[in-house]
Amino acid sequence: MTERRSSLAALRKIVGSDNTRDDGETLGLYAVEGLRPWAVVFPESSEEISDVIRLAARENLSVVPWGSGSKISKGNVPGRLDLVLCTERLNKILDMDMGNLTLTAQAGVRFDAIQAALAGEENRCDLPYTNQVTSSDVAVCSDRANMGCFVPLMPPHTRTATLGGIIAANASGPTRLLHGLLRDLVLGVRYVASNGEIVGMGGKTVKNVSGYDVCKLMVGSHGSLGILCEMTLRILPLPERLATGLFSFQTLDGASRFVARIFDSRLLPAAVELMDGRAWGFLGLEGGKSPGRGGYGVAVAMEGVDEAVGRMNSEIKEWALEAGALETRAFQEEADRCFWEAYCNQASRLSDEYPNMVSVKLNYPVSVYAEIVEFAEASAPMDLTLFCHAGSGISRIHCLVAGEGADLVDRTVSFLRGLLDRCAAHGGNMVIERAPIPLKKRLPVWGKPGGDLVVMKRIKEQMDPLGILSPGRFVGGL
Amino acid sequence: MRKLDREAVLTRLEEIVGGEYVLCSAMDLHLYGYDASLARGKPDVVVLPDSVEEVSKVLAFAYREKIPIIARGSGTNLSGGTVPIKGGILIHFSRMNRILEIDIPNRTATVEPGVITLDLQDRLLRQGFIYAPDPASQKVSTLGGNFGENAGGPHCLKYGVTTNHVLGAEVVLSDGTVIWTGGKAQDHPGYDLTGLLVGSEGTLGVVTKMILRIMRAPEAIKTMLAIYDTIEDAGNTVSAIIAEGIVPATLEMMDKVVMGAVEESVHAGYPTDAAAVLIIELDGMKDGMDRQADKIMEICNRHGVREIRVAKDDAERARLWAGRKGAFGAVSRLRPNYMVCDGTVPRTKLPEVLTRVIETGAKYGLVIGNVFHAGDGNLHPLILFDEKNEDERRRVLKATSEILKICAEAGGTISGEHGIGIEKLEEMSLIFSESDLDFMRGIKHAFDPLNILNPGKVLPETQPLNP
């Protein structure tokens, strides 16, 4: 205990007394999978984080980084836990370079705050040369240059998630179909390594092959290799037009035919999402015909120039009707934004209603999705909601577990193991994103590790030899 | 090769890949001693394996005997990455050149590393699909080489570089172990090893199969050539197009020096008296493309364009691109050698940096041609010289280093798509601190503890070989 007291004093010296908390209430709020830290620190700069980690390395204290906690239920129960390092005070947007289309922000900035700031940013017109031909009173950029920008990502928990957490967890959403993943968007990162050194990689250029592509390693490393402090992302100008079509089908077969038709075409939708009737029911849509139990919904997001969105809207609607859609709906503007916000924040809403909810993410080659969906629906021992990024081979299932009986736990475990086997048979996998702790302890949280685990282990051992960064939480118990 | 004598090494390699696929004549070793950079080296032996099993056995053997391994394709790389500076076994993938599968439903192509980039692209196009990265050397370069260097190309402005199109890889580790990273199923749990391996220049593992992302060929393409009397107007046009919210598939710039050379060799129809041209290409859905093209032309006009030509058909489009893609080759008509700098800067810094590049050329009395990916801020100043002229060669190296420094100072980086190899080792410190480099050294050590994979590349002062 005296050691702890002296460590606490050292932490207070680094981040200040107000920003070092060891009261019971705070410790309870920042428990990681039921494990309470003995201190929570709130640093406000990379330098302070560096000092905290140096101290942790010296005293062999384990540290779990925390943004808003929206995804803290992902990962194994930590092997040990001394400190939680909360990034909420690293909440500054450092640079919005509209001419370059890059954004640099600290780890603790909330995602929706970034989108709001970018949307309101007005001038992209950055003409660096002294103009030799045009006289100065001629406008050299058009009005479109004042339309604002956005980060082309629709991660879950948009209302709470922080940029650092999103990148650490490699969160993605429906528009990955058109815009790719964080690995495609992150241009630079600054983080504190396990020895306390501040490391910076990449920057504001969209192309960079100088040295190893460490940004790729840090994206999705779940706090196991370093504490993310700042990051630079690609941004895009807001598209001329956004629209969404929502279609309901009586059967998976009808919905699948519709989805296949879209992917066989030359259209370029931003997202094609398939959901079961129960998932549809939780979107809080007013009016209209729900596909109901056994039915499926498909949501198609479209963005781009006016003409292209117009054509997609009409062709996709036609194809939906040909595939037997019960109903078609269209959202524009504000309604469009609200629909996707509800869609992306569905997990938060469900977990309020079902505290014992089990959430899993399945990945598989996209061509086998119908098989996976059918299997999941047919073998589930409880109600579930299912969403698919239909063009990417990713499904999210929320098992709406009501009750806590041992029998139910057994059946849930065997259902999930069956799902994992099914995905693994096709070269895919399954990750438990949220589950009650007793259940989690009986499940392979990160699915079936592959032969590459040997390299991951060596990287972890090399980069965090003391095992102080989120120990035990990641794949293979890293 | 210390422990075993040369004969024993050759015998073992012959056992693994077969006698006719082990090359060791003086001529062979000379031919595999260089790439498209100025660097020169010499391997001890060249092997041409035919399968992952053979590659694995070669690596297991090299690991046991601590012999360096250099894996390479066509050697079009520009920074010395495949030059065997420490001897060793050079693996050439000319026999592992099979397109193993084109999986349309999953939108993937699985290939061996020796497949020529354009061969895959031609084959895909016949089925209405594309593999997007299009390095200028695509006629010759291999996909394995593109993987190792994280190759770029003109179309990367919209579609990203090689790494954005690699979904998974079969990799032989330094001790001969074979693993798969990533795969057809996206979001493989764990570290993104595929992302780390792409662009690692063969220093972390040897890739024997790759799963690449393919996409439907765009419905429509529109290619324009905008001709300018000043380089400044061309530069402002680039910024204004981006500000407009248009993301063209390509935004390439070429200056007078390069155009002159290109016209002599390729006859692409570029004006030789203009100061600069932009090649602007739009692709995607046909809807709204004409309006976007009109918008671009309007922007060009506002910025004093002399003339805009729109390619009327595929043949015209091909001719415009032949000039751009043949540019590096064409400048060798002007002088025997060229040094290409690959510095990349935030796009808005291009003008300032270009001016300083031109000043640097003047300072050292060198002719510099510019042909580059303006849309993503990736410069390619081509410094023309004759390597037989020792003094000139020295000035070229000084100018190169200075240009990279200018890029670093502008918040950019020293290589956008050509890699570090051995040419830019010294300049790594311009953009990385010792802690940054140490982190990367840690990665190298985790993959290759004995430092036998392409030793001496990418990272300055890695641990010495055979300590």
B175: exposed, middle or buried (C-beta count within 10 Å: 0-12, 13-18, 19+)?
middle
The ipTM, to two decimals, is 0.95
Contact B285/A129, CB-based, under 8 Å? no
pLDDT class for A2, splitting at 50, 70, 90? confident
Please give, rounded to a whole number of angstroms, the shortest distance from the CA of A23 to a CA of chain B. Answer: 35
Contact A99/B348, CB-based, under 8 Å? yes
CB B404 within 8 Å of CB B432: no
Backbone angles phi, psi at A454, to 5 degrees: -60, -40
Contact A210/B181, CB-based, under 8 Å? no
pLDDT in the model for residue A407: 86
Give the count of alpha carbons within 13 A of B222, CB side only.
19
Rounded to 5°, the CA angle A165-A171-A176 comes to 145
pTM for this entry: 0.96
pLDDT class for B467, splitting at 50, 70, 90? very low
pLDDT in the model for residue A311: 97
Q: Which residue has the higher pLDDT, A206 or A288?
A: A206
B391-437 per-position pLDDT tens digit: 999 999 999 999 999 999 999 999 999 999 999 999 999 999 999 99
pLDDT in the model for residue A142: 67
Residue whose C-alpha is closest to residue A459's, from A244, A291, A275, A216: A216
Where would I find the H helices in A345-389? 346-353, 369-379
Q: How far apart are alpha carbons A107 and A91 in whole angstroms?
A: 7
The beta-carbon neighbor of A452 closest among B181, B348, B413 is B181
The beta-carbon neighbor of A307 closest among B199, B291, B428 is B291
B231-288 per-position pLDDT tens digit: 889 988 998 898 888 989 999 999 999 999 999 888 888 998 999 999 999 999 999 9
CB B185 within 8 Å of CB A423: yes
pLDDT class for A128, splitting at 50, 70, 90? low
Q: How far apart are alpha carbons A322 and A3 in whole angstroms?
A: 71
Question: What percentage of chain B reaches a pLDDT higher than 90?
Answer: 86
Kindly report the average pLDDT of chain A as a whole number. 93
Question: What percentage of chain B reaches a pLDDT higher than 70?
Answer: 98
pLDDT in the model for residue A160: 93
**Maximum average pLDDT range among A138-152, A273-287, A326-340, B87-101:** B87-101
Residue whose C-alpha is closest to residue B354's, from B329, B380, B331, B333: B380
Which chain A residues are closer than 8 Å to B247 by Cβ?
236
A351-408 per-position pLDDT tens digit: 989 999 999 999 999 999 999 999 999 999 999 999 999 999 999 999 998 877 788 8
The beta-carbon neighbor of B189 closest among A202, A305, A429 is A429
Interface test with B, best of A199, A206, A462 (most B CBs within 10 A): A206
Contact A214/B439, CB-based, under 8 Å? yes
CA–CA distance from A465 to each of A224, A308, A459, A461, B416 (Å)? 11, 53, 9, 5, 32
CA–CA distance from A361 to each of A313, A395, A423, B78, B89 (Å)? 30, 6, 11, 42, 44
Where would I find the H helices in A246-381? 252-264, 277-281, 306-322, 333-344, 346-353, 369-379
User: What one-letter code names the amino acid at A64?
Assistant: V
The distance of Cα A194 from the centroid of its chain, to the nearest Å, equals 24
Which chain B residues are closer than 8 Å to A215 by Cβ?
195
Q: How far apart are alpha carbons B38 and A178 in whole angstroms?
A: 41
| Contacts within 8 Å (CB) and 24+ apart, B256-260 | B257/B331, B257/B334, B257/B367, B257/B368, B257/B369, B257/B370, B257/B382, B257/B384, B258/B327, B258/B330, B258/B331, B258/B369, B258/B370, B258/B371, B258/B382, B259/B323, B260/B334
pLDDT in the model for residue B465: 43
pLDDT in the model for residue A121: 82
* pLDDT over threshold 60, residue A131: no
DSSP run (H or E) holding A81: none
Q: Look-up: residue for tokens 């709001």?
A: A116
Residue A284, C-beta contacts closer than 8 angstroms, at least 6 positions apart:
A342
Contact A214/B413, CB-based, under 8 Å? no
Which chain A residues are closer than 8 Å to B157 by Cβ?
206
> Using CA of residue A234, residue A235, residue A241, residue A243, what is the dihedral sign?
positive
Quick one: closest CA in B to A141, which residue?
Answer: B240
Interface test with A, best of B78, B172, B236 (most A CBs within 10 A): B236
The beta-carbon neighbor of A427 closest among B184, B376, B418 is B184
Interface test with B, best of A143, A209, A362 (most B CBs within 10 A): A209
Contact A131/B419, CB-based, under 8 Å? no
B445-465 per-position pLDDT tens digit: 999 999 999 999 999 975 444
CB B374 within 8 Å of CB B278: yes
Among A317-321, B154-158, B359-363, the range scoring the smallest mean pLDDT is: B154-158
* pLDDT over threshold 50, residue A74: yes
B157-208 per-position pLDDT tens digit: 899 999 999 999 999 999 999 999 999 999 999 999 999 999 999 999 999 9
Q: How far apart are alpha carbons B122 and B131 in whole angstroms?
A: 9
Which chain A residues are closer than 8 Å to B105 by Cβ?
366-367
CB B13 within 8 Å of CB B58: yes
Question: What percentage of chain A reaches a pLDDT higher than 70?
Answer: 96
